[in-house]
Structure 1
Amino acid sequence: MARKKKKQEIILEPTQEPEINPKKMNSFYAWDGDILVLNILGTPAAKRDAIGKVKGNQLKVSVTESPRAGKATDHMVRFLAKEFQVSTKDIEVVFGRFNVNKQLRIKNIIDLPSEVSREIENKPNL
């Protein structure tokens, strides 16, 4: 007689850090302690993965992955993890997994990519 396996229950706990309202941000980025909060305007199915310029209060990020079932966002997280020299677990998608408008929280940052640090120097967070 075969034993029935119990289904493993997955419990998702809400994020402990407060979400920063993107409409109240006066820039594409904000620091929440040592966590960098970025508003992203994503471009899926691009020719190459790239961090672009700021448009309004969003940073443009292009990825080569097509926008199916959140795969473009997952690819973006992997790309940005390499750029920021962090683990993919250090990047949280606050909202926008299935949308071009996203907010990301990046912790344990070792170094800012040159494209991001240049934009921060040009538009300091007030």
Structure 2
Amino acid sequence: MARAKLRDVPDLSDLARPGAEIAVRVTPGARQAAVTREGGLVRIAVTVPPADGAANAAVLRLLAQAMGVAPSCLEIRRGHRGRDKVISYSG
């Protein structure tokens, strides 16, 4: 399955500071993948259903693309099974 590329990804490169924790609200199973920023909260919609961690992996890929970093630099600290997550950037 090919991964969809986002066209209008916001520039979140200012969040790419080592040790930064990013508050994220996730919408799994969305019609279209999207990344938006509302104040200090990042909203991410992924088309993948929340099964077997696939949605979490998609969230990390989209956030990494918006931040301009590798997905391996991101880790979910809190909220593995919920919609509200805290993701840390290790740099």
Does the alignment reach a TM-score above 0.5? yes
Alignment partner of 1:52: what SS? strand
1:47 maps onto 2:20 in alignment: no
How many residues are treated as equivalent by the alignment?
76
The answer as to 2:47 corresponding to 1:64 is: yes
Q: Which residue of 2 aligns with 1:27?
A: none
TM-score, normalised via structure 2 length: 0.70
Structure 1 vs Structure 2: percent identity of aligned residues? 21
> Normalised by the size of structure 1, how large is the TM-score?
0.52
Q: Which residue of 1 aligns with 2:63?
A: 80
Residue in structure 1 matched with residue 85 of structure 2 by the alignment: 102
Larger Rg: 1
Q: Look up the SS of the partner of 1:42 in the other structure.
A: strand
SS for the counterpart of 1:35 is coil
Q: How far apart in 1 are the matches of 2:72 and 2:37? A: 25
The Cα RMSD (Å) is: 2.1
If asked which structure has higher relative contact order (CA below 8 Å, sep 6+), I would say: 2
Secondary structure class of the residue paired with 2:20: strand
The question of 1:89 aligning with 2:72 is answered: yes
